[in-house]
Amino acid sequence: MVTGRPPVASMARWARPAAATPWSAADADPRAFAVEFAKRAEAEVDVGEVEDEGHALSPAAVRLVARTWFNGYSDDSQIRTIVQFRPMPSLDPHVAQLLDLVARAKRPPLHHLSPADAKVAYEKSSPIVDIAPIALDHVNDLTVPARDGHAIAVRTYAAREASWADPLPLLVYFHGGGFTVGSIKTHDALCRSLAAKSGAMVLSVDYRLGPDWKFPTAANDAFDVLQWVFDEAATIGADPARIAFGGDSAGGTLAAVTAIEARNRGLAPVLQLLIYPGTTARETTPSHRAFAEGYLLTQAMIAWFFAQYLRSDADRDDWRFAPLDGGGQGADVRGVCPAWIAVAGFDPIRDAGIGYADKLRAAGVPVALKVYEGMIHDFFKLGRFVPAVEAAHHDAAEALRRAFGTQAG
């Protein structure tokens, strides 16, 4: 007997139903597969009714597996008689080597440090694991005024000179780091890569971090940058008709909520580029349980990040922190811009990203979801050790080019 639900990713490895019982085109998405399970679990069925059918997943088998799944247990021997079991995808071997190096280094994790020391440690480690920065001819440091008078530092990256007469499309990028660590510096190589590969201008934002600046300061900084780039696009050589918002991890959270705020303000970005975004404060998904330890980002670290940024537990239910299930004026995502969402197969917040893709789709928002099966959280910044990261950067750049209507070159 195997107790507990298996990780969602394993569900996608069971054989698909026979042709006589067609599934939707979305069944390759593990979460969509689970939804189909739920739909087909309405009718009860005895184990004796289940037939092998050549190791295809029959409707009766679907109902049986669905009941065991949603009741929180699965009898492995029973399931093996009705489906062809395939193991979960394995870690990318380069990722596995990196995790082994991290474990053998025995350096204290970020959540065992003071916030100030954690910021320094993250900034020092980033260039060690990230790709070498790509040289760009046009890199400029600017400031954007915040609502409280603070000057938000931003940096623009472009492969060519841009002007109001010859503007570039613009990606506004929010770095990751749990609202506690990270900066323009830690994400310099990634922003250079996206600018070079997409042909767009990238504007990286140094929003304020916890614990010195609690929620909702980071979101407010993001919203102030949102308004500024639409108002002042021409002054930096950006095209106001081709603006996207993106970010990784906590930065993905900010990009998602900024897309909602843009809708609220009547502004029209063309894309939200969400890289393993945090979308919920409720750590109850299968991926949270399956990958709680040993995959770089841990549940203990997530809890520590939350403690640095949030004022109280009430903030967990605010859409500006939890766009998947938070309340308020951002709970409804109808009318937000299209999304490209990347999640890592071995990431505790994987299912939160998939869940947000589901929420957007249910609201009629076009979504492209990319699951990088063998990857871990923060993999977009591990390119020095993980060759597959280069392809992921190209995927993100291609999504931007499609949204901006530009050609590769």
DSSP string covering 236-273, please? Answer: GTEEEEEEEEEEETHHHHHHHHHHHHHHHHT---SEEE
Predicted confidence at residue 361, as pLDDT, reads: 98
Predicted confidence at residue 88, as pLDDT, reads: 56
Q: How confident is the model over 313-322, as a mean pLDDT?
A: 95
Instruction: Answer whether residue 254 shows pLDDT above 70.
Output: yes
pLDDT > 90: what percent of the chain?
Answer: 74
Distance CA 35, CA 375 (A): 24
Q: With contact defined as beta carbons under 8 Å apart, do 184 and 171 qualify?
A: no
- Provide the CA 229 distance to its chain's centre, in angstroms: 23
Instruction: Answer whether residue 36 shows pLDDT above 60.
Output: no
Instruction: Answer whether residue 7 shows pLDDT above 70.
Output: no
> Which of 175, 187, 377, 393 is an active site residue?
377
Instruction: Answer whether residue 101 shows pLDDT above 60.
Output: yes
- Provide the CA 96 distance to its chain's centre, in angstroms: 21
| Strand order across the beta sheet in which 271-275 lies | 138-145, 151-158, 201-206, 168-174, 238-248, 271-275, 339-344, 367-372
Least confident piece of the model among 194-198, 325-329, 374-378: 325-329
Predicted confidence at residue 6, as pLDDT, reads: 37
Instruction: Answer whether residue 145 shows pLDDT above 70.
Output: yes
Burial (0-12, 13-18, 19+ Cβ within 10 Å), 341: buried
Is residue 75 annotated as a catalytic residue, yes or no? no
Q: How confident is the model over 69-81, as a mean pLDDT?
A: 44
Maximum Cα–Cα distance across the chain: 72
Instruction: Answer whether residue 37 shows pLDDT above 60.
Output: no
Q: How confident is the model over 184-212, as a mean pLDDT?
A: 99
Distance CA 166, CA 192 (A): 20
Predicted confidence at residue 330, as pLDDT, reads: 75
Backbone torsion region of residue 177, taken as left when φ is above 0, otherwise alpha when ψ lies between -120 and 50, otherwise beta: left
> Which of 206, 239, 315, 347 is an active site residue?
347
pLDDT > 70: what percent of the chain?
Answer: 78
**Domains defined for the chain, CATH in brackets:** 2-80 (no CATH), 95-404 (3.40.50.1820)
Distance CA 58, CA 262 (A): 45
Predicted confidence at residue 56, as pLDDT, reads: 40
Antiparallel, parallel or unpaired: β 238-248 and 201-206: unpaired
Q: With contact defined as beta carbons under 8 Å apart, do 334 and 365 qualify?
A: yes
Predicted confidence at residue 408, as pLDDT, reads: 61
Q: How confident is the model over 292-305, as a mean pLDDT?
A: 96
Q: Which among 185, 177, 181, 78 is positioned nearest to 139, based on CA atoms?
A: 185
Antiparallel, parallel or unpaired: β 238-248 and 271-275: parallel
> Which of 249, 315, 378, 393 is an active site residue?
249
Question: Tell me: the pLDDT tens digits for 16-25?
Answer: 333 333 333 3
Question: Tell me: the pLDDT tens digits for 146-182?
Answer: 999 999 999 999 999 999 999 999 999 999 999 999 9
Distance CA 26, CA 23 (A): 8
Instruction: Answer whether residue 185 shows pLDDT above 50.
Output: yes
Is residue 351 annotated as a catalytic residue, yes or no? no
Predicted confidence at residue 137, as pLDDT, reads: 94
